[in-house]
A and B are shown apart, each in its own frame.
Chain A
């Protein structure tokens, strides 16, 4: 109970921080909308023949991409705490060792959920029609959040290993760009070179985008959704212990 209160207090802190940081706020609100609108109107005609035809395809893709970009903030925030001594202050307090990290990830999930809601609303305003039931929409949100919390562990590791917050962003975005674009997030599989297709098909971003499309627009969601969960589990199993190990090592050194 006490640990829960403490985790919530730490999550509150991560959320309040956003208010003071217009860039971060923008990254959660303006940036995803900008991506959606740009992709839709710039590529819509070329990829799908019209923006109307492209919207159902690109909206889940933008949701997946934005989710990954937002995870960078987990690493960025953690690294800021580590380099600015805030983490030390927390560690000298009588709170569980995992609470600062848990608070951050919890806050991050809330931000993720808000981003998804925002994108769905803007999508609907632009003419997107949800063809499925509320449950399928909720399943889609849950799937994105599950994958987000797994992917966050990768960024936790980046946050622990980076010297300063700027490096987290540099490395995080540099790694995320190819992963997001070599996927079916924005263009259909068959338009890409044959050598690339196996990678595109195995890419969790493709799987997540495909599953989300099916969960919003109808179709077979089960297979891509299950593979997305397999990916999420694999990432979490590898990166969660690795991150915790790296974090403890960094703390023991200093």
Chain B
């Protein structure tokens, strides 16, 4: 198994605090790695080091067998990067943006034009192709940005929160595209705050917290550790929150996490739902909403670290 990306004891500090604090990681060629973590976990810092935009303070990283510090020029020849924030030239049209990248990558005029049109089609940007990017919506800009990182058919692709700001259709399109890229043998490292995204895309998931890896495995392995789903209960009267938590703990066997008037706890089976409902009813606690949802990043973090993820992440909620 050939390793496309290798990190060894990678460290990067900002103003004395370690944003990335000793990360070891290997990504096999042709696979997709999901780097999952809350705000400030160090995802972007890792991606920027791998894309040769910043240098590590300690440790080393190899991309495609090339050292990111000493062979940065070689690394740049084989990677594509979509940063967390769109980096398109707002004054150029969508097509011009892609043409520029193609020309910079050494494509001839005709090839550049063909590649630009191909990508504009793939990302549904034909209609806006001749408009300046500053007139694009956030999602369109994001798509243009993604297209720009694919111009050179990179062997290794870094996507930093690629679906942030995309509507559900564009999000699914991107998921499909990433799948196609894998089929073509592209290695992808993508970061995300969404468990379901890592779940849908990644062969392996690495969970990052405060610059360190706290868990690693396939999504099935992680879910097993987390419980996969979580039960959430919204009570009408927040004064009864503690009573409700107690009743739930008695049935699930674990104390739920409280936020505002919502309680949530990882569960392994949906059989607990009617039991919890009955218990709450008996305790005369009025319930506004109750259901199961896919384990959220919060749940993963609670299960893995014992503390909640620092920032809330919106999850696609799936009511039972």
Residue B52 contacts which of A2, A84, A92, A95 (CB distance < 8 angstroms)?
A92
Say whether B55 contacts A92, CB under 8 Å. Answer: no
**B83 interface residue (CB < 8 Å to A):** yes
* Contacts A5-B103, A85-B83, A94-B73 given; does A13 touch B89 at CB 8 Å: yes
Residue A9 contacts which of B51, B77, B89, B100 (CB distance < 8 angstroms)?
B100
* Contacts A20-B132, A92-B51 given; does A6 touch B104 at CB 8 Å: yes
Residue A88 contacts which of B87, B103, B106 (CB distance < 8 angstroms)?
B87
**B196 interface residue (CB < 8 Å to A):** no
Encode A1-17 as 1/0 by CB contact (under 8 A) with B.
01001100110110011
Chain B residues within 8 Å of A13, by CB: 89, 92, 96, 100
Chain B residues within 8 Å of A20, by CB: 91-92, 132, 134
Encode B252-281 as 1/0 by CB contact (under 8 A) with A.
000000000000000000000000000000
Give the distance in Å from the alpha carbon of A10 to the alpha carbon of B87 in the complex.
15
Say whether B103 contacts A254, CB under 8 Å. Answer: no
Encode A74-85 as 1/0 by CB contact (under 8 A) with B.
000000010011
Task: Summarize B's interface: helix, strand, loop or mixed.
Answer: loop
**A227 interface residue (CB < 8 Å to B):** no
Give the distance in Å from the alpha carbon of A16 to the alpha carbon of B54 in the complex.
30
**A252 interface residue (CB < 8 Å to B):** yes
Encode B51-66 as 1/0 by CB contact (under 8 A) with A.
1111100000000000
Give the distance in Å from the alpha carbon of A201 to the alpha carbon of B255 in the complex.
82
Say whether A17 contacts B89, CB under 8 Å. Answer: yes
Say whether B88 contacts A94, CB under 8 Å. Answer: no
Query: In the complex, how many angstroms separate the beta carbon of A58 from the nearest chain B beta carbon?
Result: 33
Interface size class of B (residues with CB under 8 A): 20 to 34
Say whether A9 contacts B53, CB under 8 Å. Answer: no
B52, B85, B92: residue with the most chain A Cβ atoms closer than 10 Å: B92
Say whether A91 contacts B105, CB under 8 Å. Answer: no
Q: Which chain A residue has the least Cβ–Cβ distance from B87?
A: A85
Interface size class of A (residues with CB under 8 A): 20 to 34
**B35 interface residue (CB < 8 Å to A):** no
Say whether A94 contacts B100, CB under 8 Å. Answer: no
Give the distance in Å from the alpha carbon of A206 to the alpha carbon of B96 in the complex.
41
Query: In the complex, how many angstroms separate the beta carbon of B315 from the nearest chain A beta carbon?
Result: 28
A13, A21, A88, A94: residue with the most chain B Cβ atoms closer than 10 Å: A94
**B188 interface residue (CB < 8 Å to A):** no
Residue B105 contacts which of A16, A88, A93, A251 (CB distance < 8 angstroms)?
A93
Q: Which chain B residue has the least Cβ–Cβ distance from A18?
A: B91
Q: Please report which residues of chain B, range 88-137, place their CB below 8 angstroms from some CB of chain A when the two chains form the complex.
A: 88-92, 96, 100-101, 103-106, 132, 134
14 more contacts with CB within 8 A, not counting A20-B132, A88-B53, are A5-B106, A6-B104, A6-B106, A9-B103, A10-B104, A12-B103, A20-B134, A85-B83, A85-B86, A86-B89, A89-B83, A93-B76, A93-B101, A94-B73
- 29 A-B Cβ contacts within 8 A? A10-B104, A12-B100, A13-B89, A13-B92, A13-B96, A16-B91, A16-B96, A20-B91, A20-B132, A84-B89, A85-B85, A85-B86, A88-B53, A88-B83, A89-B81, A89-B87, A89-B101, A91-B52, A92-B51, A92-B52, A92-B53, A92-B76, A92-B81, A93-B76, A93-B101, A94-B73, A95-B104, A252-B55, A254-B53
